[in-house]
Structure 1
Amino acid sequence: MADLWMPGAQKLGIGNTAPTDGGPAKAIAHITWDRNATAAKPAALVPYENLRSYFGSNATGKQSAPHILWDPFTGRVVQFFPANSRSLSLADRPGGTRTNRAGSVVLQIEALFFPYCKVDGKVYPKLTDTPCKGWAELQPWVKSWGVPSSWPMGRPADFTPKRSAATWANTAGWYAHAHVPENDHQDPGSWPAFVGTPGTGTPTYEPFPGASFFMSGSKPALGKRSAIFTAMGKRLVAVGCGRYKVGPGPVLGQADVDSYEAWQRSLGYTGADAKWPPGPTSWAKLRVPNV
């Protein structure tokens, strides 16, 4: 089962949970846009702690809180609602679609960013100009809730709104705030490419192949051959979790299982959660090179 609370994120539940309505699983991309800056007059980024406190403890901020506040400069993430609850970052007019609930999940991600923010003396016109730290961990958690890595209305490239009630009602995937019916916001303006998409300037990692790839029935698929196992094993060695006497790879062996379980324990997983097979969140954190 997917994690209600993103592993590695700070859990800051604010209560006021409510179910979603069902339908295509969605994720909504926002930026906080808490200051207006320009190329001629950039402004300092609002501290992460300010936004965390605003959504997490301010009475007004709680009324517009997302699921996730993500700092693309440091990779810090804080979560205010469990994945199976609606959050509150979308305008929801009377009648029509209940925007915050219109899916099996409607996971809302607020990136700490505004155009022409300044961090350590450098100005960032677009979100995609930032380091986008933490994206490689955030994307697979969203995907684990059934949200496909696709933009039904196009990956945002500017601040032009584009809305289709029919697409919204019928198609799972990622939506910009600028794509959501009943809303007039134009953000986020840009968003990082999905991990594993080549030719985008984003580091390319091996997409999570699914738990069944690593299994033969109810047991590890020992003896299975794949270049993925070699790449995985090299990364496990690099992060100090290698338990190999020979290898790694390309044939899956018990040393791979032992090494990966050591990796999951190093991330804080315990009990059955630390056991083989790999899961999408720990796989994303390992950053296995694309093969």
Structure 2
Amino acid sequence: MPDPWMPQAVKADLGDHAPCDPTFPARAIAHITADEEATAEEPLDLLPFANLKSFFTGSGKGHAPHILWDPFTGAFAQFFPATSRSKAVFDADGGFRTNRTGKVVLQVEALFFPHCRVNGKVFARLVDTPCEGWAVLHAWIGSWGVPDVWPMGRPTSLTRNTCPADKWTSQGGWYAHAHVPENTHVDPGTWPALDSQPPEPLPVGPRFEPFPGASFFRAGRTSPVIAAMHARLVAEDCDRYTSSTHVDVWGPGDVRSYTAWQQKLGLEGGAADGVPGRSSWDRLGVPHV
């Protein structure tokens, strides 16, 4: 059986699990967070991944997807197992049960809004971003039997195109939020291309830094890998740094912040000593540098 929890995602289980309906084919639903309204003339900074993760575990838990994906860093958070419905589309009483019509109904929210600004660069479409982590995400969703097809066509703009009832109930594959019956949203606008190649292995792959060994993390070690790790720890609300300089040098702030990450994973005592181990490193998902 595939893994109900995506190995590269930080597990933020909301509970309240409920089954999907296996009499319908497996499907995935693509969203963007669309948390700001920007324009080409007035772009806005992208909100931090940690903010959206906190929203979906707090006041927004009633709208949470399975996966929150940061296409700029390849970070993931998961709120429901694949075997449960999530809550990211509207589901009318007595209607299609839109969150459940499938062996799985895997919903992904990409951290993105049109004309967001990241590191001084503005991105008009999701496909203009680096789409970091897409290969891993796509492979995990494919492992649940979601076919590489868009029954309503791959989204190319922010327009509404509601799926007819017979197609929704009979055809699996990928759907945009803009396609889902009973809903009014127009997102995601665009989405990375699907391909029919065999899924890549789910453990740490070429888009993530492999574990360099515990001996790599010694005082004074300078490496872009440490800078990438620093960014991921900040994104995971494990920022225990006292300085924003020399982010590529291993030091006491890294030890404190990594300890916070280990504790977040439920490790205690000597297992939360601030020195990365293979399991906690793989769960952190440090982007390849």
Count of matched residue positions in the alignment of Structure 1 and Structure 2: 210
- Structure-2 residue corresponding to 1:167: 167
Q: Which residue of 1 aligns with 2:26?
A: 25
State the partner residue of 1:183: 183
Determine helix, strand or coil for the equivalent of 2:112.
coil
8 Å Cα contact 1:139/1:195 also seen in 2: no
State the Cα RMSD in Å.
2.5
| Structure 1 residues 4 and 165: CA distance shift in structure 2, 3 A | same
In the alignment, the residues of structure 2 paired with residue 120 and residue 71 of structure 1 have an alpha-carbon distance, to the nearest angstrom, of 14
TM-score (norm 2): 0.68
Q: Take 2:50 and 2:195, find their aligned partners in 1: how far apart are those partners?
A: 27
2: distance between equivalents of 1:100 and 1:12? 19
Say whether 1:207 aligns with 2:198: yes
Which 4+ runs in 1 deviate beyond 2 A?
Answer: 206-210, 266-269
Unaligned runs of at least 5 residues, structure 1:
197-205, 211-234, 242-265, 270-284, 287-291
What corresponds to 1:109 in structure 2?
Answer: 108
Aligned equivalents of 1:81, 1:240: Cα separation in 2: 27
* Partners of 1:25 and 1:146 within 8 A in 2: yes
Gaps of 5+ in 2: 213-276, 281-286
Q: Which residue of 2 aligns with 1:277?
A: none
The code of the aligned residue for 1:24 comes to: P
Q: CA offsets per residue over residues 156-215 of structure 1, 9 Å max, x none?
A: 00011111222111100000000000000000000001256xxxxxxxxx53499xxxxx
Judging changes above 3 Å, is the alpha-carbon distance between structure 1 residues 116 and 18 closer, same or farther for their aligned structure 2 residues? same
After superposition, residues 145-156 of structure 1 pair within 5 angstroms as 145-156=144-155
Deviation at 1:21, TM superposition (A): 1.7
Partner-residue secondary structure (3-state), 1:109: strand
Check the 8 A contact 1:136/1:195 in 2, yes or no. Answer: no
State how far apart, in whole Å, the 2-side matches of 1:71 and 1:116 are.
15
Q: Is the 8 A contact 1:20 1:85 kept in 2?
A: yes
**Fraction of identical pairs, as percent:** 56
1:7 and 1:50 map into 2 onto residues whose CA distance is: 22
C-alpha deviation, 1:51, in angstroms: 0.3
Match of 1:77 in 2: 76
After TM superposition, give the deviation of residue 8 of structure 1 in Å. 1.2
Listed as ranges, the matches of 1:91-130 within 5 Å are: 91-130=90-129
